[in-house]
Chains A and B, each alone.
Chain A
Amino acid sequence: MSDESEDDLILADLPDDELVQQMFDDLYDGLKPEIEEAVHILLDRGWAPYDILTKALVGGMTIVGRDFRDGILFVPEVLLAAGAMKGGMAILKPLLAETGAPRVGKMVIGTVKGDIHDIGKNLVSMMMEGAGFEVVDIGINNAVEKYLAALETEKPDILGMSALLTTTMPYMKVVIDTMAAQGIRDEYIVLVGGAPLNEEFGRAIGADAYCRDAAVAVETAKSFMARKHNQMATA
């Protein structure tokens, strides 16, 4: 911790627009207590929980996501930022449920069988929440049965699968093939990601898209959700 005088900044003294800007900085720097404090201040000032989520938290995480995508920030910084965002989200979540705020979409996400790596998955999960999605994280080492059970229970719009190993990435195809065999493949948007993968691999195994990193996952998920809504509107 620093004892520099700037740390004496009083969040409650800032007008709304400056406070939101400050939250962007604090998210970027991963300052969880400051984010929690600012969320409370905005609530006290009568902000709707949904506005705090979208204008302050999602806005701030968008900057983090962009810099992550561009190779300016790396995993440790993003984990800290996401941790700060989660602090704010924890306050807003019950309020959002009460106020019936609009839902961007829902995702079930998990790392495939044999793969213990959850760094990438956790990043996607946190960035998706940061973008306003509801995320159900089913953890690591998921056999196809666990994915199918989660789809059945959670009824998400999107299924996300992650693998970090050459030895586990083919398992994604096992899951997609099983979904197809049961006739449910087209009910979901299937996104895949993980270090050894690429777009061509994603296409070859029958996923809707390969997402290079968490920021791309959010952009891709949003564009698929927009298409889905358009289809429903014209249907």
Chain B
Amino acid sequence: MTDHLSRRLAETPVIMADGATGTTLFNMGLSSGDAPELWNVDHPDRIRALYRGAVDAGSDLFLTNSFGSNAARLRLHDAADRAFELSRVAAELGREIADTAGRDVIVAGSMGPTGDIMEPMGTLSHARAVEIFHEQAEGLKAGGADVLWVETISAAEEYRAAAEAARLAGMPWCGTMSFDTAGRTMMGLTAADMVAMVDRLPHPPLAFGANCGVGASDLLRTVLGFAAQGPDRPVIAKGNAGIPKYVDGHIHYDGTPDLMARYATLAADCGARIIGGCCGTTPEHLAAMRAALDAHTPGPRPSLDDITAALGGFSSASDGLDGADAPARTRRRGRSPRG
């Protein structure tokens, strides 16, 4: 049996995903530092409103409010034992909204990073990371998610652990990383590194790509980096609506709906097939993106200059793929580093 997302990918050239979860919940009164996932149980109506906002704006797929509903993150809120429950309810509420949308909408079960550093650099073992993700994945599955959606990952080790968890849960999945450090992930992965890593996974994702990071321009440079590798599977682009600013006591992202509309069509021309926003992307942005994508005639792959002309400059001169990196340090002696 083909899964829901694969069916849609076979039917349609571009699937529009959703926008921000955190930013939207803040605007509904979430306090900084509180766990958004507790609202799945405490304020289900607000979570329904969050989902409905994306669906009404034309999203074909939305993510559940379960980014941090894993045991590692919930322990901050003395709720580590509620990872399964909060994940399940996040997906149940999503199922409810999708099934009454009056059109075909995909529920993607969001899974964010654990927040811990994995061995050997850090303390989190592969086995424990798999266990943490697996518990969350089972909750999302029980709640009726169509697909698992791993996002904002920076370490290859953590991505692999999430892949393993998806396999254990018997679920199709997608996985995106955040390229926020000079065009690479915090752990130094380039777009090309990610394509190579994804290709080697025993339970590969249906689609892979980039989310969050630094602004819409950088994200599209990363998407071009994926496309240059000729990847086997569809590419996901979920960029932030500009950069965050602090206005009147709350976070405001400076990207306009018009800018995100341009970003969406450029993302399509860069080769992305699942296109959405991340932080700062409101239903208003999504509606503009929907209209632009519907009206869009596919064009040639944009150049880096086309992207900066339309969306603004990059945060770093290089993304590690253009050979412009400074030469490796000349070492005095050839001690071979770290085995």
Contact = CB atoms under 8 A, between A and B. Distances in A.
Q: Which of A18, A164, A166 has the most CB of B within 10 A?
A: A166
Interface residues of A, number: 58
B279 to A, nearest CB: 5
Contacts of B76: 114, 116, 140-141
Interface in A112-128: 112-119
Interface stretch (A43-51, A168-176, A179-187, A224-232): A168-176
A25 B331 CA distance: 6
Interface stretch (A92-100, A148-156, A196-204): A196-204
A235 interface: no
A80 to B, nearest CB: 7
B49 interface: no
A116 B73 contact: yes
A25 B328 CA distance: 12
B40 to A, nearest CB: 15
B333 A6 contact: yes
B182 interface: yes
Contacts of B183: 71
Given A1-B339, A6-B336, A72 B328 contact: yes
B251 A170 contact: yes
Contacts of B256: none
Nearest to B186: A75
Contacts of A140: 76
B318 interface: yes
A25 B332 contact: yes
Given A79-B121, A171-B32, A171-B33, A166 B335 contact: no
A15 interface: no
A80 B33 contact: no
Q: Which of B280, B335, B337 has the most CB of A within 10 A?
A: B335
B18 interface: no
Contacts of A200: 245-246
A213 B280 CA distance: 23
Interface in B16-41: 20, 22-23, 25-26, 30, 32-36
A79 B117 contact: yes
Q: Which of A28, A31, A75, A205 has the most CB of B within 10 A?
A: A75
Given A30-B338, A63-B329, A200-B245, A75 B187 contact: yes
Interface string B106-124: 0000000001110001100
Contacts of A173: 246, 249
Contacts of A113: 32-33
Interface string A72-98: 111111011000000000000000000
Given A7-B335, A75-B186, A195-B186, A205 B246 contact: yes
Contacts of A7: 335-336
B160 interface: no
Nearest first, the 3 A-B pairs at minimum CB distance are A74-B188, A114-B33, A71-B182
Interface of A: 1-2, 4, 6-7, 9, 18, 21-22, 25-26, 28-31, 34, 63, 67, 70-77, 79-80, 112-119, 140-141, 143, 164-171, 173-174, 195-198, 200-201, 204-205, 213
Given A9-B335, A79-B121, A167-B30, 9 more contacts: A25-B335, A28-B329, A29-B331, A31-B338, A71-B184, A71-B320, A166-B20, A167-B25, A201-B246
Interface of B: 20, 22-23, 25-26, 30, 32-36, 72-73, 76-77, 115-117, 121-122, 154, 178, 180-184, 186-188, 243-247, 249-251, 279-280, 316, 318, 320, 325-326, 328-329, 331-339
